[in-house]
Amino acid sequence: MPKAVYIHIPFCEQICHYCDFNKFYIQYQPVDEYLTALYKEMQASFKRYSHNRIRTIFIGGGTPTALTAEQLDHLMNWIHELLDMRHIEEFTVEANPDNLTADKLSVLKNAHVNRLSIGVQTFQEDLLKKIGRTHTNEVVFKALKRAKKYGFDNLSIDLIYGLPGQSIKDFKKTLETALSLDLQHYSSYSLILEPKTVFYNLWRKGKLTLPPQEEEAAMYEMLMEKMEQKGFHQYEISNFACKGYESKHNLTYWNNEEYFGFGAGAHSYVNGVRRANIGPLKKYITSIERSGYAYLEEHEVTLAEKMEEQLFLGLRKTEGVSFNMFEQKFAKPLYSVFGEQIEAQKKKGLLFEKDGYIFLTHKGKLLGNEVFQAFLSVLNN
């Protein structure tokens, strides 16, 4: 039974050069019609499936705060109408620093949003322009100060390393600035060149120079070191938090638990079925108006796939995967299914076993995708 709700707002006031999420430049888009379709989709799904265990809500994008304050207010009212907010433990909204205005913060606070995830990416202003961002450092500082003034005390920012032209020294300065801001949570990811993005097309043409792999690895090691020095717990490969401020919503994904996903291009996992929604706006809206749903793909997850997902998602967490939990969930000992793969990764120094858990070593964090692939290959074989 789903414990989380994800709502996708695919509109942006600028398109970042690295982003491959389903998004559209907001000008001239049918925003109000889209929000109405979202409401109808949520309404239809909550009639079809039990939703009394929902504990977290995450509104992502795109840029949810690209909506006007009035549009945000409509969305919040519909969420409150459809869900029992008394049981919601964490309500997160993604935001850009340059549109986190006082009127929007007021709407979010009144709707009981209690966590903000703000896209900063870097504090190197020349690099911000190169990656398609429009804010400045001063805008970030003012947005954070304003959010705190409105009573938000669970604030997270996103950072990216391995950006074009970024040096280890540059990333160190970004980290030092980020860690001076009195925040509760940080997410930091290496740049991935995704097809159909501006950066990918430039790279294909030989017009994009990225830091060498060894420098990117050095940035990640520095990230882990600096976060630990400042008392932030690394609870997932790319996420660091003060104690008690870990993202409950994202832990739903890494614990391989079920969730609702609403909106154009959104994904969901309900009653053992993974679904992907139609991406194009007009097709999404038309499908919702016709049936209340906008499924593009549906896949019933097999037992073998569930076990594999438990490993490669669970190993993203620094606490790793519990032997007891795995056996309780699947009625099979972990070693009886993945013993050969676990031993192989342990011999490489990528996995470690302790107190009934397996988890990534320091080296394993640097080579996480290699470890995950080892467990995915079981199904292929």
Which pLDDT belongs to residue 56? 98
Secondary structure of residue 192 in the 3-state scheme: coil
Which pLDDT belongs to residue 25? 86
Listed range (15-29, 50-64, 120-134, 143-157) with the worst mean pLDDT: 15-29
Question: What token pair was written down for 275?
Answer: 């679904």
Q: Can you count the helices (H) and strands (E) in the chain?
A: 15, 17
Question: What token pair was written down for 150?
Answer: 């409105």
- Short-list 137, 355, 365, CA closest to 235: 365
For the cut 90, the answer to whether the pLDDT of residue 202 exceeds it is no
- Short-list 255, 353, 266, 362, CA closest to 64: 266
For the cut 80, the answer to whether the pLDDT of residue 381 exceeds it is no
Q: Rounded to an integer, what distance in angstroms lies between the CA atom of residue 365 and that of residue 315?
A: 9
The pLDDT tens digits of the residues spanning 206-247 come to: 888 899 999 999 999 999 999 999 999 999 999 999 999 999
The pLDDT tens digits of the residues spanning 282-291 come to: 999 999 999 9
For the cut 80, the answer to whether the pLDDT of residue 132 exceeds it is yes
Average pLDDT over every residue of 1-13 = 95
Q: Which CATH class is domain 4-254?
A: alpha beta
- Short-list 167, 160, 101, 156, CA closest to 128: 160
Mean pLDDT for the chain overall: 95
Q: What contacts 9, CB < 8 A, 6 or more positions away?
A: 59, 60, 61, 62, 63, 64, 66, 67, 75, 263
For the cut 90, the answer to whether the pLDDT of residue 300 exceeds it is yes
Q: Quick check: pTM over 0.75?
A: yes
Residues in the chain: 381
Give me the sheet containing 321-322, strands edge to edge.
321-322, 357-360, 351-354
Secondary structure of residue 85 in the 3-state scheme: helix
Q: Where in the chain is the domain with CATH 1.10.10.920?
A: 303-380
For the cut 90, the answer to whether the pLDDT of residue 70 exceeds it is yes
Q: Rounded to an integer, what distance in angstroms lies between the CA atom of residue 37 and that of residue 7?
A: 12
Specify the pairing of strand 259-262 against strand 273-277: unpaired
Average pLDDT over every residue of 120-143 = 94
Q: Which CATH class is domain 303-380?
A: mainly alpha
Q: Where in the chain is the domain with CATH 3.80.30.20?
A: 4-254
Question: What token pair was written down for 152?
Answer: 């938000």
